[in-house]
Structure 1
Amino acid sequence: MQKKALKVNPKDNVIVALVDLIAGETIIVDQHEYKIVKNTQAKHKFVTEDLSEGDKIYMYGIIVGKAVTQIAKGELITTENVKHQSAKVEKKTATTAWSAPNVDKWKNKTFSGYHREDGQVGTENVWLFFPLVFCENRNIEILKDIFEKELLVEKTSKHQLLLRSLINNSTEDEVDNLNEESSKVFKNIEVKFITHQGGCGGIRQDAEALGRLLAGYVKNPNVAGATVLSLGCQNLQVQIFKDALAKISPDNKKPIIVYEQQKSGTVDEMLNGIIKDSYEAIKKANEIKRQPAPLSKLVLGLECGGSDGFSGISANPVLGQLSDIMAAIGGSTLLSEFPELCGVEQELVNRCVHEKDAERFLQLMKDFEASVVAAGSGFDMNPSPGNIKDGLITDAMKSAGAAKKGGSSPIQDVLDYTEYIQKPGLNLLCTPGNDVECTTALVSSGSNIVLFTTGLGTPTGNPVVPVIKIASNTALVEKMPDIIDFNTGGIISGDKTINEVADELLEHIIKIASGEIKTKAQILNQNDFIPWKRGVSL
């Protein structure tokens, strides 16, 4: 029988409703009775005791808010009676002990990936086209159209078939019979295309950051090589990009084809050269084949978006358990979204192996929040209307649940935006909470798989790396099966444990990393790419 409510931590003075609760009913949680004061929807919280104005709200064992009015025992907390508050953190105060999970069943497991000369292993084999400046977006789009039409003959989409049937006054089945089946010219290589709005017109620091971001994409193990387009006069000069790549990959062996329009004559002449050179390079990259690799070669990016009141007790803890497994077998994870770590800083700094990393994390958080305040906002504005509607009413509450993706293992390194992962184990990566900006950054820092938890549903994908959508609840899977890859809702219903679901998820990851199955984002051709613009336009 499913529990009606859950107290996450013994220190908490709020309880999560696992099902809709009716005003007046009495429920029992941990042998204590609570009479529900108001109708409380699943995912929302009620208090365990009478609270006065100014009293602190605790969840996950930490401060996540404060009462701004009196709240009666059993009463629902809302944005009207609770506001954001988090504990102040100045420095590392302790060293957190860690007990690694038993990973005997995973030690000799492998996935089938693409081995690179620098020792990394890709879960995909991608030839990437991208511009250094937005002025070249049109040429990228022309190349995209040319290469996709010739290298991949795709079955026409059902939506296009619908329109075709209406135009021809025929049935969809009749039109479908005339449609060609998919056939790829090259079996071992994907050709992907990136466009963006950066590279010039803003502060030089943003152009340099974009250069580092794109260099990270070339360095990413899923990329076999790249075709790079430059106009010539932009802030992000070719040499800046090359210097950024040389810094993170000094012995780069991947083929990089660079064309600069202002040195190439007409567009036709440039495109002819690009097509010939790129085709030969793509043909050679197609010769690379999958081979077995240990799971320690996986670099998992950890992210959440469209979170709900269940994310922090189902999907995110599953990623936390998975992160701990990866740390124990020598693999790597990247925990991102710094605005969603507000309120849990003390736990995280205490988990940092090195004092300098603890100090750096706090400084990055302080600088990030200062820039947000300077723009007239604050981290407390992070929860979206959808978050709030589904039970995440303060940033600290959202953060406490989001941080569960990082498990409990020691933090080996702290990285700023565009820095590339260097150490196995859990790493912190400074990114915004914005879904696509975060995913874009995780890939640039070396993730070869991104794990994306969601309670409300989001279609985010990436052109280079598989993005696995992990639902916090079964209702979402049933409502949006076209974008969700994996369900952790069995934890909420009480049918499965976090450890059981984490093991199932890792088996699923291995299949995706080996190319046995595609993610829903890949099937939908969801190739999102948005750099984090930290400065202003000039």
Structure 2
Amino acid sequence: MLTEIKNTKVLKVHPADNVIVALTDLPAGTSVEYEGETYVLPETVPQKHKFATASLQPGDQVFMYGVLVGKASQPISKGGLVSTRNLKHAASDYFGKMKEYQWVAPDVSKWVNRTFMGFHRSDGQVGTANYWLFIPTVFCENRNLEFIKDALNKELGYGKTEKYKNYTRQLVEMFRNGTPPDAMLTTDLQLNEEHFNTNRLFPNIDGIKFLTHQGGCGGTRQDSAILSSLLTAYIDHPNVAGATVMSLGCQHLQLDDFQREIYKRNPKFNKPLLMFEQQKSQSEESLVTEAIKQTFVQLIEANKLVRQPAPISKLVLGVKCGGSDGFSGISANPAVGYAADLLVAVGGSVLLAEFPELCGVEQELADRCVNNEVADKFVRLMKSYAAQAESVGSGFDANPSPGNIRDGLITDAIKSAGAAKKGGTSPIVDVLDYTQPVNKPGLSLVCTPGNDVEATTGKAGSGATLILFTTGLGTPTGNPVCPVIKVSTNTTLARRMKDIIDIDTGDIITGEATIESKGEEILEYCIRAASGEVIPKSVQLGQDDFIPWKRGVSL
């Protein structure tokens, strides 16, 4: 693992690499001295992009992070910019576990006795928050949930800011007063804050969350079964106090099957669970009012639970990246990976997902698996996922977005090799299919898409109680039940989008911090967030993104 950047202009990440990363813009004609070699750049190499350490011919392999990330499609001169015009995605083949893996765990003497203030559940799980859920078994109930949401949130003190309503109100008043459109555009309107969550009626309930979705009927029975597994996983989540379930009655996802799914997942389940079926009610009004009344009574009981100390080994940390850039695999991801290693070393759990963004490092991950059974499951899921994508003409090589490419991630293998750094270096103890619960301490892989919201939705479904989300370009993604902590790869982003960024790792790029020091800072923040001492920006913004994966092709 790279621990320190000594040259603040360029960086060769791994000794086996034949590309060098520009840490700042390097104009054409720049002479770069690095590790005894001189490179004269024939063209500008933008910050976060790479140049070749030697002349390459079409078909020559390109390595970064020590793995194959592409093949030259055009001649590339020594010092030449590596881009989509001269490099195509390529990745090494992979098999099952090929060799034994020895892990040197970090020193965790300062962490072994650390605790956080969490919500203890009767089955032994410990939450970092305490939420009540409203869940529709079918999209037909989304409208009723909207009524209930509008009725409960503001009255109970969970309403978010109405600054945009106030802003719009000013425009309405200007229009009514005859203000011309041009004057509206040039008037400096006031963006007044008006919060409602400062005086919660139930101080030990962190929020009421509404998991509206578009499933439950009309699709395949497999879709409904997967949705059922996901929704029951959220009800069973350590951060959830109880749930109100709204059903129409005739949908694929029946209440009896849904309830059986909950107890199949957790035979010890004993949270309050309210279920309502509209086709058995007297009217929509009676359905909604009864759901509100019964939920209110249960909230009174759920509010009696208070935070108590728990060892940090009870934390389940999901790691995710989105809006990634050419610095992601150099600063934020390895720093998060070091925090993950620290947590694993004290007996905690870490979840690394996004299978399309593990392309090119599969063999490395298979070799880190604790046994052949775990490695074989990973290989089977990866190959099945890849084949499904290729069958519709969209392999993993199509994964990088225009924003990724513009900021230096020009092949999926480059993106993936950097993305995998979030998982640290510890052995892989388990591989979980979508919605399977984590039940072993250590690092587990979770099969999800790379799509930001689908991945965070799936990670929470497997039991993540906090998610560390790295970003180089900026993304507001959050989750209804699992606090999402945003970690920026560069200081420019952290300053520009300070309303969504919690932690800045840009000082690794400038050489002012190391991966280890930043990893410790990240874990310290996680402990404070898990205790309710700090509220991550995504939670403050009410970023409750929830998209179930139908197991179709999603990158």
TM-score past 0.5 threshold: yes
Is residue 111 from structure 1 mapped to residue 128 from structure 2 by the alignment? Answer: no
Of 213-222 and 269-278, deviating more is 269-278
- The one-letter code matched in structure 2 to 1:396 is A
Equivalent residue for 1:285, pick from 302, 308, 312: 302
Query: Following TM superposition, by how much is the alpha carbon of 1:188 offset from its aligned partner in structure 2, in angstroms?
Result: 0.6
Aligned partner of 2:380 among 360, 363, 368: 363
Which is worse superposed, 158-167 or 304-313? 158-167
Checking the alignment, whether the CA contact within 8 Å between 1:46 and 1:76 is kept in structure 2 is: yes
Instruction: Report SS of the residue matched to 2:242.
Output: strand
Aligned residues of 1:45 and 1:391 also touching (Cα < 8 A): yes
Deviations 1:357-387 (A, max 9, x none): 1001001001111111122211000000000
Name the structure 2 match of 1:412. 429
SS in 1 for 2:69: strand
Question: In 1, distance between residues paired with 2:370 and 2:536?
Answer: 34
- The CA deviation at 1:319 is 1.2
Partner of 2:494: 477
Alignment-derived partner of residue 210 in structure 1? 227
User: Using a 3 Å threshold, how does the CA distance of structure 1 residues 121 and 264 change in structure 2: closer, same or farther?
Assistant: same
Q: Is the 8 A contact 2:138 2:253 kept in 1?
A: yes
2:97 touches 2:371 (CA, 8 Å); kept in 1? Answer: no
2:440 corresponds to which residue?
423
- How far apart are the structure 1 equivalents of 2:422 and 2:195? 44
Deviations 1:20-52 (A, max 9, x none): 001111111222211112101010000100111
Unmatched runs of 5 consecutive residues or more in structure 2 = 1-5, 178-186
Is 1:32 aligned to residue 37 of structure 2? yes
Distance 1:177 1:125 in 2: 26
Corresponding residue number in structure 1 for 2:292: 275
Q: Work out the CA distance in 2 between the residues paired with 1:222 and 1:258.
A: 20
Of 204, 207, 213, the residue aligned with 1:188 is 204
Specify the code of the residue in structure 2 equivalent to 1:14.
V
**Structure 1 segment 165-184 matched on structure 2, within 5 A:** 165-167=170-172, 182-184=198-200
Following the alignment from structure 1 to structure 2, what is the Cα–Cα distance between the partners of residues 165 and 416?
Answer: 50
1:254 matched to which residue of 2?
A: 271
Separation in structure 2 between the aligned mates of residue 357 and residue 430 of structure 1, nearest angstrom: 13
Aligned length: 536
- Contact in 2 for aligned 1:208/1:240 (Cα 8 Å): no
The verdict on how the C-alpha distance between 1:172 and 1:42 changes in structure 2, with shifts beyond 3 A counting, is: closer
Offset at 1:431? 0.2
C-alpha offsets along residues 101-148 of structure 1, whole Å, 9 cap, x if unaligned? 000111111111100001111110000001011010001111101111
Match of 2:236 in 1: 219
d(CA) in 2 for partners of 1:314 and 1:501?
Answer: 9
Match of 1:446 among 463, 485, 502: 463
1:64 to 1:187, Cα distance in 2 relative to 1, 3 A:
same
Q: Distance in 2 between matches of 1:175 and 1:37?
A: 49
Q: How has the CA–CA distance of structure 1 residues 85 and 142 changed in structure 2, closer, same or farther, with 3 Å as cutoff?
A: same
Deviation larger for 171-180 or 22-31: 171-180
Output the CA distance in 1 between the equivalents of 2:431 and 2:193: 55
Indicate how the Cα distance of structure 1 residues 175 and 305 shifts in structure 2: closer, same or farther if over 3 A, else same: closer
Matching residue's letter, 2:229: R
- In 1, the alpha carbon distance for the partners of 2:195 and 2:318 equals 38
What secondary structure does 1:57 align onto?
strand
Residue type at the aligned position of 1:64: V
Instruction: Tell me if the contact between 2:478 and 2:538 (Cα under 8 Å) persists in the aligned partners.
Output: yes
Cα distance between partner residues in 2 of 1:177 and 1:513: 27
**SS of equivalent to 1:362:** helix
Equivalent residue for 1:351? 368
Check 1:141–1:81 CA distance in 2 against 1; reply closer, same or farther (3 A cut): same
Instruction: Give structure 1 stretches of 5+ with no counterpart.
Output: none
Question: Any idea what SS the aligned residue of 2:243 has?
Answer: strand
> Whole-Å Cα distance in 2 between the matches of residues 179 and 151 of structure 1?
12
Identity of aligned residues (%): 55
CA contact (8 A) 2:128 2:530 kept: yes
Opposite residue 76 of structure 2, the aligned amino acid is I
C-alpha change, 1:401 and 1:156, in structure 2 (3 Å) is closer
Residues 1:160 and 2:165 are matched in the alignment: yes
Take 2:9 and 2:532, find their aligned partners in 1: how far apart are those partners?
40
**What is the DSSP-based 3-state SS (H/G/I as helix, E as strand, rest coil) of the residue aligned with 1:51?**
coil
The two structures, once aligned, show a CA RMSD in angstroms of: 1.9
Matched, 1:520 2:541: no
1:459 to 462, 467, 476: 476
**What is the aligned partner in structure 1 of residue 280 from structure 2?**
263
Residue 507 of structure 1 aligns with which residue?
A: 524
Q: Would the aligned equivalents of 2:162 and 2:194 in 1 still touch at CA under 8 Å?
A: no
Q: How is 1:276-355 mapped onto 2 (pairs within 5 angstroms)?
A: 276-355=293-372
The residue number in structure 1 matching 2:141 is 136
Note closer, same or farther for the CA distance 1:172–1:44 as it changes in structure 2 (3 Å cut).
Answer: closer
Q: Which residue of 2 aligns with 1:80?
A: 85
| C-alpha displacement of 1:177 | 11
Match in the other structure for 2:546: 529
Q: Tell me which residue corresponds to 1:498.
A: 515
User: How many Å separate the matches in 1 of 2:77 and 2:244?
Assistant: 63
Residue identity matched to 1:187 = P
2:391 is aligned with what amino acid?
A
Please, which moves more after superposition, 165-174 or 89-98?
Answer: 165-174
Check 1:402–1:179 CA distance in 2 against 1; reply closer, same or farther (3 A cut): closer
CA distance change for structure 1 residues 177 and 382 in 2, over 3 Å: closer, same or farther? closer
Deviations 1:154-201 (A, max 9, x none): 575333333334555699999969998842111010211110001111
CA distance in 1, matches of 2:19, 2:196: 58
Kindly indicate whether residue 413 of structure 2 is the aligned counterpart of residue 396 of structure 1.
Answer: yes
**What per-residue deviation string (whole Å, max 9, x for no partner) do you get for residues 395-434 of structure 1?**
0110000000111100000000010101000000000000
Conserved? CA contact 1:332–1:425, under 8 Å = yes
Q: Alignment partner of 1:184: what SS?
A: coil
Partner residue of 1:54? 59
Deviation, 1:315, is: 0.4
Q: What is the CA–CA distance in structure 2 between the aligned matches of 1:47 and 1:419, rounded to whole Å? A: 43
Q: Secondary structure at the match of 2:492?
A: helix
> Secondary structure of the residue that 2:293 maps to in structure 1?
helix
The residue identity in structure 2 corresponding to 1:49 is A
- Quote how far apart the aligned CAs of 1:478 are: 1.1
**TM-score, normalised with respect to structure 2:** 0.94
1:322 match: secondary structure:
helix
CA contact (8 A) 2:316 2:351 kept: yes
Match of 1:245 in 2: 262
Aligned counterpart, 2:394: 377
- Determine the C-alpha separation between the residues in 2 that align with 1:73 and 1:174: 55
C-alpha separation in 2, matches of 1:386 and 1:435? 14
Distance 1:173 1:339 in 2: 44
Instruction: Give the conservation status (yes or no) of the 8 Å contact 1:202–1:535.
Output: no
Relative to structure 1, is the Cα distance of residues 363 and 179 closer, same or farther in structure 2, using a 3 angstrom cutoff?
closer
Q: Distance in 2 between matches of 1:178 and 1:473?
A: 32
TM score, norm. by length of structure 1: 0.96
Q: CA deviation at 1:496?
A: 0.3
